[in-house]
Amino acid sequence: MAQLQAAHFSRASTSKLAASLAKPASFKLLYWPINALGTTSREMLEYGGAKWENLSQSPDNWGQERLQTPFHVLPVLYIKTEDENDLVLSEAIVVEHYLAKQFSLLGDNEYEENLIKMFHNSSHLFQAAFAQGVTLCSPDVKERQLAAFLNNTLPTWIQTHEKHLHDNGNNGHYVGEKLSLADIRTAVAIEHLTLQPQAAQIMEVINKSEPLIKVKETVAKDPKIAAWRASEQGRKLTEASKAFFTNPPFASKPPPKN
């Protein structure tokens, strides 16, 4: 893929750019061809019925193409606006907040929005803790890192999220009775863990949490998200993820040369 130029952000007349950003016409999401940090955005784009293209970054060209991303990492969201501006957002959390706002996934008021963003952030960091701590760690410390995840990170996440889901009536949602960014992010984090070589051990624990499994199943039942996951692209991403996580590069690998 010829990389889109996005090393810098547009800055001319930010009030006009803000108006453009509020009226997107179509999107391109650039990420690796796996389910990880780009997955929540992909699922929201489908949920919102957006016109969008899933751009897969090939690892072969990454050494050069990374220089055209704002922080030399993915995901990156390219937005074509109704008034023909080309805008760029990066950093997974910022992209997800933006898309959630576009598709009314931030609750009914500012308080609900902040609740949703807290649950979202917590599940985002939970998944990141697994990725950094276990997936990408050096093979010689993997067992120890996995034990730390199973003994500390996982039970704390389950216990705290169960409490908040219980407070909302244990109805498969974090806030109120409708789907939000928080529901999708938590479901994506759980689905992410099902793709790992350590899935059996991890899911044995998560499966005992009725409130979290209810969130996972509620999101899986959304017709547009279900159709995306079952599509050829969705299935390919799942298969590629399993292969990638079975043999991931580990963190101490030097970064690609400029």
Ligand X SMILES: N[C@@H](CCC(=O)N[C@@H](CS)C(=O)NCC(=O)O)C(=O)O
Interface ranges with ligand X (CB under 6 A): 36-37, 66, 73-74, 91-92, 255
To ligand X, the closest distance from the beta carbon of 20 in angstroms equals 22
Q: Which amino acid is at 86?
A: D
Q: Which amino acid is at 207?
A: N
User: How far is the CA of 161 from the CAs of 20, 173, 182, in angstroms?
Assistant: 36, 11, 11
Nearer to ligand X, 1 or 73 (CB): 73
Residue among 66, 199, 161, 32 at smallest CA distance from 41? 32
To ligand X, the closest distance from the beta carbon of 75 in angstroms equals 6
To ligand X, the closest distance from the beta carbon of 187 in angstroms equals 18
Q: What angle do CA 188, 119, 55 make, to 5 degrees?
A: 35
Nearer to ligand X, 4 or 226 (CB): 4
Nearer to ligand X, 74 or 202 (CB): 74
To ligand X, the closest distance from the beta carbon of 17 in angstroms equals 21
The C-alpha atoms of residue 100 and residue 105 are separated, in whole angstroms, by 5
The C-alpha atoms of residue 147 and residue 205 are separated, in whole angstroms, by 13
Place of tokens 């690796």: 32
Q: Residues 96, 44: contact at Cβ < 8 Å?
A: yes
Chain centroid, CA 215 distance in Å: 16
Nearer to ligand X, 124 or 173 (CB): 124
To ligand X, the closest distance from the beta carbon of 82 in angstroms equals 26
To ligand X, the closest distance from the beta carbon of 151 in angstroms equals 25
Q: Residues 191, 239: contact at Cβ < 8 Å?
A: no
Place of tokens 């050069």: 64
To ligand X, the closest distance from the beta carbon of 13 in angstroms equals 27
Nearer to ligand X, 18 or 73 (CB): 73
User: How far is the CA of 117 from the CAs of 98, 144, 199, 203, in angstroms?
Assistant: 12, 31, 27, 25
Place of tokens 């996951």: 229
Nearer to ligand X, 74 or 115 (CB): 74
Nearer to ligand X, 64 or 207 (CB): 64
